[in-house]
Structure formats: C-alpha cells, structure tokens
Amino acid sequence: MKVLRRENRRFIWTACLCFLTIGAMFVFHVLELSRGQDVPHIENSTVDLRGVDFNTGEPIFLDGEWEFFWQKLLVTDHLEGEEPDGLMSVPSYWTQQKQDGHYLPSKGYASYRLRMINCPPKQMC
C-alpha cells in the first residue's frame, strides 16, 4: 500500500473541510428559508391571521386547503356566491384532483380562493 505524501494528505483534509463548510452553509440556508412565520393551519379555505406580524419581512406560508375552481377565472369579489369545484391542497398539482370521476388534465386553467380573516386593515389581504 502506497503511503500518502504530506502534500496529498493536506489536500484531502482541506477538501474535506471545504465540503463540510459548504454543506453546513447549505443546510443552514435551507433551514432559514423554510422557517417563515407560524400561521394557523388553513382549513376549509380560511386562514385566521390574528397575531401575524407583517413587518418582520419573513415569508408567511399559506399551505393548506384552498377552494378550487376548474376552468374558471375568478377576478372580482362579485363572484362571492360561486361554488368551488372542490378543495385543493396547496401546494400540489391539479392533475391529482378528480372531477366527475376523472383526473384533471395538465393543460387548462383554474382559480384558487382563500379567505383571510382578522387581517389588519392597513395590510394587503
């Protein structure tokens, strides 16, 4: 077995140290991005924003059940009485949603709606 020269051992240790440093930086970056603010769980397309601090600059994740309207574009509040085609878990793909017993195609358009309650009046909710 060939003995590693001192230069080769130093190179290997330096490379390992660099990989560990880069890996640790990546892990901390991913953890920081995924932190966000604690928002109450979204249920039945409604989220209660009471107690959320909008001035922190941190992301507010709105994962949960949203109302889903297939082949409809909702652009105003005038459609408040419009019944959704179902509830869709966000984030997800609508191709995982069944309508009339068939999965929805990948091509098409849809609207999602979420009701926000207890939103401060000066915020954009």
Q: What's the predicted TM-score (pTM) here?
A: 0.62
Mean pLDDT check: name the lowest of 20-24, 70-74, 112-116: 20-24
Per cent of the chain over pLDDT 70 is: 79
57-103 pLDDT per residue, tens: 778 888 899 999 999 888 765 666 788 889 999 999 999 988 888 99
The pairs formed by 92-100 with CB atoms below 8 angstroms and a separation of 24 or more are 94/68, 94/70, 97/68, 97/70, 99/70
Identify which of 123, 122, 118, 124 has the alpha carbon closest to the alpha carbon of residue 51: 118
Kindly state whether residue 89 falls inside one of the protein's structural domains: yes
Mark whether 29 and 77 lie in a shared domain. Answer: no
90 vs 104: CA distance, rounded Å: 16
> Minimal CA–CA distance to 116: which of 40, 55, 13, 58?
40
Residue 78 lies in a domain: yes
Residues 110 and 56 in one domain: yes
**85 falls within a domain:** yes
Q: Exposed (0-12), middle (13-18) or buried (19+): which is 18, by Cβ within 10 Å?
A: exposed
Q: How many domains, in total, are found in the chain? A: 2
Whether residue 38 has pLDDT greater than 70: no
Residue 1: which pLDDT band, with cuts at 50, 70 and 90? Answer: very low
> Which of 11-25, 40-54, 61-75: highest mean pLDDT?
61-75
What pLDDT is stored for residue 66 in this prediction? 93
As a whole number of angstroms, the distance between CA 13 and CA 82 comes to 64
**Confidence category of residue 36, pLDDT binned at 50, 70, 90:** low
Domain housing 3: 1-35
d(CA 107, CA 95): 9
